[in-house]
Amino acid sequence: MTRYRHCILLFSLLIPAIFAQAQTRSPFPEGTKRVLFLGNSITYAGTYVTDVEAYFVAHYPAQSYEFINVGLPSETVSGLSEPNHADGRFSRPDLHERLARVLEQTKPDVVFACYGMNDGIYLPLDEARFRPYREGLTWLHDELEKTGAKRIIFLTPPVHDDKNLGIKGYNLTLDKYSEWLLAQRDSLKWEVADIHFPMAHYLEEKRKTDPSFKLANDGVHPGDEGHWLMAKAVLNYLGEKVTNAPDVRSTLSVNPRGDELLNLVSQRQSIMKDAWLGATGHKRPEMRQGIPMTEARQRYDELETRIRALVK
């Protein structure tokens, strides 16, 4: 009986330690402070970035990460642009022009990069367009490695849903882009999280019961449901168990004020993404003007205080 009591006592002492470890472990390397998201208009919209950040705040309250969104609408990593892009008002911006400034100012520890949707120029697969995409991503990986980033994770492009052809139109080009990128996990040992094929599968399954179902009204830019599929793929890749979660709010129920937390994170992302684009500079016209970084930092800190009060 004495031995039994000792076992019970030991187990009761271990429970807090196990719980504490579960609250502090993280899929990000030790010492990670800044997590950077590069991409085009889908990343700039940023809902999936917000979802990922809110999840980490709720599930890893002992950690403090800054999630930085520098997605730029219309951008490519290939440097390509169609002749009459934006009705001739401007050419597509090229990541090559701004990457050095972004990396110098953000100094990321972990980087996610999502390109491809614009790089095929919404045309059938052609080597003249495919090669610059492959070369652009190889260049990007090399440049990110030079920074000493602890993890570099590429994301396959989201699904494209053609108005008439569904996923059998331009999405066939993105299938090939995604297959090539996924192959680099073996050939070059890159880290690649697949969001393309899970989104395509989800769309196909939904269409079986609702032929009019869409993740993106314009075929390109997903709504909240599509962004959650993207966030879920990222989180699953990082080892989080969210496969069956219908939306981000369901994953935030670990905190009784999860909805409030999500709202604060969303506010902060909205402020900071424009401030970062303004601070790092770009050549894409017709963008919303962000507040100066000094002011944005003050707003960031104010919101951080409110967020931390929710996760104590």
- Domains and their CATH numbers in the chain: 31-310 (3.40.50.1110)
- pTM for the model: 0.92
- pLDDT band of residue 25 (cuts 50, 70, 90) is confident
CA 198 → CA 69, 182, 203, 222, 231, distances in Å? 23, 13, 9, 14, 11
How confident is the model over 43-90, as pLDDT tens digits? 999 999 999 999 999 999 999 999 999 999 999 999 999 999 999 999
CA distance 128 to 82: 13
How confident is the model over 275-286, as pLDDT tens digits? 999 999 999 999
How confident is the model over 116-157, as pLDDT tens digits? 999 999 999 999 999 999 999 999 999 999 999 999 999 999
Strand partners, 67: 35
Half-sphere exposure of 208 (CA within 13 A, CB side): 5
- pLDDT band of residue 24 (cuts 50, 70, 90) is low
CB-based burial, 33-62: b 16+ in 10 Å, e otherwise: eebbbbbbbbbbbbbbbbbbbbbbbbbbbe
DSSP class of residue 150?
A: S
Q: What are phi and psi of 74, to 5 degrees?
A: 80, -10
DSSP class of residue 2?
A: H
pLDDT of 17 strictly over 70: no
Q: How open is the CA angle 229-230-232, to the nearest 5 degrees?
A: 65
CA distance 156 to 118: 12
3-state secondary structure of 79: coil
**Closest CA relative to residue 69, chosen from 30, 40, 26, 89:** 40
Question: What is the rounded radius of gyration, in angstroms, for the C-alpha atoms of the chain?
Answer: 21
